[in-house]
Amino acid sequence: MAKENQTKKVCIIGAGAAGCACAWLLSQHSDKYQVELWEKGHVAGGVASSHKIDQNGLD
């Protein structure tokens, strides 16, 4: 039996802290879960992500 048939497919929406933690935890059990993590933004991290700023461009 193919591995795909033995595992549950899990799609996590949002790569913030909660989504990343959930995806990491489930991925530790790859015999049980196939995990996809979808993020609408360009980077992971959500409100906790870091951004470079041009300090000279600030008011």
**DSSP characters over 1-59:** --HHHHSEEEEEE--SHHHHHHHHHHHTTTTTEEEEEE-SSSSSSGGG------GGG--
For position 33 contacting ligand FAD by CB under 6 A, the verdict is no
Binding residue for ligand FAD (CB under 6 A) from 1, 2, 48, 58?
48
What is the nearest approach in angstroms of ligand FAD to the Cβ of residue 15? Answer: 5
For position 34 contacting ligand FAD by CB under 6 A, the verdict is no
Q: Which residues bind ligand FAD (CB under 6 A)?
A: 13-19, 38-41, 46-48
